[in-house]
Structure 1
């Protein structure tokens, strides 16, 4: 949009702004000219202020666009973190499911161990009950009741086996209980750890979700600001365009005031922009072979080959409406001669422009030097004549 505004301003400024002819009529009212000049100065002041406004708006847009770009990067990073945290949550959930399965298996083993303990307890209780039913018989009674030494040894071996079995039962009970309880404790602890990690991950994801939503809200506000600034820039551009048109009309008013006498430029033949003998025509107006593409293309002027630095002169008196770089023409000067005619001088060498916008020039006055800037294959002057803003063949105008 900025380029569009600048192009519109360029076209308006170059092809519409009339120029002040030299040889001003003494009959022109100085008071009227002073009034026009004062009004023109005010328009130019407003135009400069509007240009500054456009520049500031463009800078503000650039700031907002950078903020939007940074915010988009932040949103992408937050989204990546959210995905990472979600993957961690999924992994923790799987680990918790696996641990719950192990806990269930441990519970089954604990139940089996409890069943074994219960059976062992039952065996011990059966032995105690049997001893109770037979009376209070001690191990010594059993040994001393032996009929002979062999019976004593047999009874002693039996008692040893009973004691070993009872001891093993008690040890197995203790070991089973300790092992299963330790295993269950470890699993419960692992579940607690996973649950804590899961809660932390969920809290982090919730915070990331909040950050993402906050960033989305901020981005929406920045998008709104950008649109508003773009609208402001469009309005400022239109206002600048209106001021440029007003400036052009005021220049035209000056031209009409100054050209009312016979001393002003009245049209007719134009002088050669390069002195006769210092150039040669290399390309005419109309369709020709493009030197870059080799294809047929339109050519809106004539080319005059000359050594670099050769003087370029104004083809007639007028006012400079453009002096600077312009696209394929490279360094360019444009002069408005009257309401009808404008001339363009292109491919001027670097540093070769010798006039400035708004300057009055006389026919034959040096305005530039030949070069090869822009879309050019060698040192030459591209010379265009605009009649009522339309490029026409310059040859009938040259004398």
Structure 2
């Protein structure tokens, strides 16, 4: 993608070089000179139209880059929100897992208790059965032997006192058996009731455990869905980063295209105007005079926005917004517009291959137009912070044969 876009820009620049060519000048009479000037004016008009087209494309790329950067920030915020949700879900999952462990232990304890009550109930039932069997055996014995046998026991007493003792003993045995059976039945009922209660508690714990299992599974599912969402955000962020890099490459190539266009316009205007006051050497005037400081010099530095090492092609003069900018030398304006990282930008051709460039001019601060002739010291613009800028300043460049050189050697 990047190579194709870069190739397209190179082809555009090549086409411009082929299209915007100077016609031979010199002798041939007034008619020939008029024809040459007419052709030059047509080529200047065509070049300026291509500059406007390139400016529109650059503005569109800048908007797309800005939109991509804004979307990247939005994705980052959404990702932070989802990560917070995942963290909350993980805490809830841990909480449910602890509750599951606790209820599982309670269920196991109830299971042991249920087993014990079952055994107790069996023993109680057996005791009742045994005691009832004993009582029935005695009753059958009394019934089979008849009342006489019972009376024999009584009347075989040796004395009245012994009779009463024997009567009390028989009565006590029967009463005792009846009471024992009654108590055993009551114990059996209590054990049976306890068993029912334990079974109910066990069933309730079983329901709670099932609910906790479902809740745990639901939370894990939600966490998994959030993880998928995070993965999609990461993928989208990567795509946006690649797009932003492509936009940066396009911006760099369009800056080169600007230089190529400016060079062609410069040659055409030089031919048309004959450059009345060509630059013949010497020092340039300061482009800024009041309330400034040098915030960055020409040479290698760390870019304040990208954080990457690159070559700084000019000198930065930090100054308040709206501070006046002056032409460093007489010449012809060949660029006066917004252009990529330079923001609002002016380029003046001083002749003999010498240009000066003024970048990051405030909106509404371009005070000259393409084709204007300016004198040394003329007010041409106002300091701003457009383009790739971290604060109000003037980015000032000197270019010799289109190549940036250290402005320090030219300024007074």
Q: Shorter-chain TM-score: which interval?
A: 0.5 to 0.7
- One of 81, 86, 96 as aligned partner of 2:97: 86
User: 107-116 vs 334-343, which deviates more?
Assistant: 334-343
User: 97-106 vs 308-317, which deviates more?
Assistant: 308-317
Deviations 1:207-234 (A, max 9, x none): 2222223333333333333323333333
Count how many residue pairs are aligned between Structure 1 and Structure 2: 348
Q: CA RMSD in A?
A: 4.8
Q: Is the 8 A contact 1:323 1:355 kept in 2?
A: no
Is 2:282 aligned against 1:269? yes
Q: TM-score, normalised by structure 1?
A: 0.68
Alignment-derived partner of residue 5 in structure 1: none
Secondary structure, counterpart of 1:342 in structure 2 = strand
Is 2:49 aligned against 1:38? yes
Is 2:402 aligned against 1:391? no
Q: TM-score, normalised by structure 2?
A: 0.66
Following the alignment from structure 2 to structure 1, what is the Cα–Cα distance between the partners of residues 322 and 192? 102
1:323–1:225 distance in 2 versus 1, CA, 3 Å:
closer
Q: Which has the higher contact order (CA 8 A, sep 6+)?
A: 1
Report the structure, 1 or 2, having the larger helix content.
2
Deviations 1:59-102 (A, max 9, x none): 33333333333222222222222222222211111111111122
- One of 232, 247, 250 as aligned partner of 1:239: 250
Alignment-derived partner of residue 202 in structure 2: 191
Is 2:228 aligned against 1:214? no
Following the alignment from structure 2 to structure 1, what is the Cα–Cα distance between the partners of residues 366 and 161? 142
1:69–1:342 distance in 2 versus 1, CA, 3 Å:
same
Q: Is the 8 A contact 1:354 1:368 kept in 2?
A: yes
Q: Which runs of 5+ in 2 are unaligned?
A: 1-33, 299-311
- 1:165 to partner: Cα distance: 0.6
- 1:270 to partner: Cα distance: 3.3
Following the alignment from structure 2 to structure 1, what is the Cα–Cα distance between the partners of residues 240 and 287? 48
Alignment-derived partner of residue 59 in structure 1: 70
Secondary structure, counterpart of 2:182 in structure 1 = helix
Alignment-derived partner of residue 303 in structure 2: none
Secondary structure, counterpart of 1:315 in structure 2 = coil
Is 2:356 aligned against 1:342? yes
Q: Which runs of 5+ in 1 are unaligned?
A: 1-25, 287-298
Question: Where in structure 2 are the equivalents of 1:104-253 lying within 5 Å?
Answer: 104-136=115-147, 149-253=160-264
Is 2:327 aligned against 1:314? yes
Alignment-derived partner of residue 24 in structure 2: none
Following the alignment from structure 1 to structure 2, what is the Cα–Cα distance between the partners of residues 275 and 177? 109
